[in-house]
């Protein structure tokens, strides 16, 4: 293939070298030069004409979709067809005797024709992609990966056509020759192929959308781009993480879209109660707790229920161990439940509870589980913070303590007391 083209060039230079220089040849050479000058002058004039006329027409049109064709170099590439076809049409009229030179020029004109048409198609594809991106469905069904594949295929076809033109061979023969290199091509284009397959699966199964909040490895933020080989994620610190598209198919990741589309954002946080402070409630404690409005009715109803139970079972209530009794931890749990029910920032139609988790060596975890109505990060954190500010402040009113490891200050105070 290359040898044949080099032979053609060698023949061209030999023809030019040994062909006698006559006035006729000089005039035909000047004619070719004039043809090139006129052709490209018309190219620049037509380009400016199209820029002004088409731009004016598009801006006046009522539809907005034609605006997306501006800025994609379409008018310049269309204008390039003028010198190409002028040269092809009039070259032999200007230089009928310079066959070798004409053949050389025609070959490269055909190469320019292939490249120009490829550029026109790529501009149209880009414009159609822009139009699609203007619809809301593009966020749910991104097609950037598909567009990139189409553009890669177009460029490959362009390269093959250029080779076919330069070597004067049939395109089918070139494809047959490339078949023997299929293993090498598969290796070279491994990532684009995997990315293309992964992109189709992501889009078809609606696994990821532009704007989704995902967590995968070090990436934790919003998806801003779904490409052929990579997915770009803008993290919360505004850094950009790139993830191979296919890895979102082969490896697990977290997509928080379900949370953003639901009625609330989950709050699930526990405080650890010191087990040594849990106790049965004495009548004095109950009377004091009844002054807390959120649990007044609960304590009264519960105390009546317990009294009736102990009476029916002849329980000796002189000992706190006997029968049923309320505990400060149980009343505290009821208080937190009532506190969440009257909190207007909590979605009461979703799961809401205060539960004890299995005790640990640090104490008894008491978890607040509910859903905030507001899902934006800053406001969600403010709501969660307000809840636990209150929890930490009120826990002492129920004769309970939150467990924490002794600080250096606590140890110093203990040593002072011991001394």
Phi-psi region of 332 (alpha: psi -120 to 50; beta: other; left: phi over 0): alpha
Continuous H helices in 65-143:
74-79, 81-94, 99-133, 137-140
| Strand-by-strand arrangement of the 353-356 sheet | 265-273, 364-372, 353-356
Residues 6 or more apart from 235 whose CB is under 8 A from it? 219, 220, 221, 241
pLDDT tens digits in sequence order for the chain, 419 residues long: 445 544 544 454 444 444 455 666 677 677 778 888 888 888 888 877 777 777 677 667 777 766 667 767 777 788 888 888 888 888 777 777 667 777 788 888 888 888 988 988 888 888 888 888 888 777 777 777 778 778 888 888 888 888 888 877 776 666 666 665 666 666 667 777 777 777 777 777 778 888 888 999 889 999 988 877 788 999 988 899 988 888 888 888 988 888 777 888 999 999 999 999 999 998 899 999 999 999 999 999 999 999 899 888 888 877 878 888 899 999 999 999 999 999 999 999 999 999 999 999 999 999 999 999 998 888 999 999 999 999 999 999 999 999 988 777 667 777 777 76
**How far apart are the C-alpha atoms of 364 and 6, rounded to whole Å?**
85
- Picking from 43, 42, 41, 37, the residue whose alpha carbon sits closest to that of residue 94 is 37
What is the Rg, in whole angstroms, of the alpha carbon atoms belonging to the chain? 40
CA distance 33 to 91: 10
Distances (CA, A) of 66 to 78, 128, 351: 16, 10, 50
**Cβ-based neighbour number of residue 295 at 10 Å:** 22
Could you tell me the domains of the chain?
Answer: 2-180 (no CATH), 205-261 (2.30.30.60), 265-409 (3.30.70.100)
308 contacts: CB under 8 Å, gap ≥ 6: none
- Residue 117: Cβ-neighbour burial (10 angstroms; 0-12, 13-18, 19+): middle
């Amino acid at each position: 293939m290359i040898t044949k083209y080099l032979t053609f060039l060698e023949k061209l230079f030999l023809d030019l070298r040994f062909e006698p220089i006559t006035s006729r040849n000089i005039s035909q050479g000047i004619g070719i030069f004039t043809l090139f000058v006129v052709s490209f002058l018309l190219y620049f004039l037509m380009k400016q004409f199209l820029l002004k006329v088409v731009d004016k027409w598009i801006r006046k049109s009522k539809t907005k979709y034609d605006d997306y064709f501006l800025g994609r170099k379409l008018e310049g590439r269309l204008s390039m067809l003028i010198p190409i076809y002028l040269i092809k049409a009039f070259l032999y009229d200007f230089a009928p005797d310079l066959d070798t030179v004409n053949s050389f020029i025609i070959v490269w004109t055909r190469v320019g024709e292939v490249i120009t048409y490829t550029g026109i198609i790529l501009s149209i594809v880009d414009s159609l992609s822009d139009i699609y991106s203007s619809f809301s469905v593009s966020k749910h069904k991104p097609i950037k990966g598909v567009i990139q594949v189409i553009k890669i295929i177009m460029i490959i076809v362009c390269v093959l056509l250029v080779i076919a033109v330069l070597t004067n061979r049939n395109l089918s023969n070139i494809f047959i020759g490339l078949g023997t290199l299929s293993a090498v091509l598969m290796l070279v284009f491994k990532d684009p192929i995997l990315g293309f397959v992964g992109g189709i699966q992501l889009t078809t199964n609606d696994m990821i959308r532009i704007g989704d909040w995902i967590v995968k490895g070090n990436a934790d933020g919003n998806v801003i781009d779904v490409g052929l080989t990579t997915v770009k994620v803008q993290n919360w610190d505004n850094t950009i993480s790139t993830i191979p598209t296919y890895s979102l198919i082969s490896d697990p990741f977290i997509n928080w879209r379900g949370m953003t589309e639901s009625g609330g954002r989950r709050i699930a946080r526990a405080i650890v109660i010191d087990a040594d402070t849990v106790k049965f409630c004495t009548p004095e404690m109950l009377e004091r707790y009844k002054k807390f409005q959120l649990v007044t009715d609960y304590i009264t109803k519960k105390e009546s229920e317990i009294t009736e139970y102990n009476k029916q079972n002849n329980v000796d209530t002189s000992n706190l161990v006997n029968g049923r009794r309320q505990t400060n931890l149980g009343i505290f749990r009821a208080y937190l439940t009532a506190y969440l029910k009257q909190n207007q920032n909590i979605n009461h139609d979703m799961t809401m509870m205060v539960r004890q988790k299995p005790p640990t060596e640090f104490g008894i975890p008491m978890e607040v589980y509910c859903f905030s109505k507001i899902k934006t990060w800053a406001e969600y954190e403010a709501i969660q913070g307000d809840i636990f500010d209150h929890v930490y402040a009120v826990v002492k009113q129920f004769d309970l303590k939150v467990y924490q490891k002794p600080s250096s200050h606590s140890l110093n105070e203990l040593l002072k007391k011991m001394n």
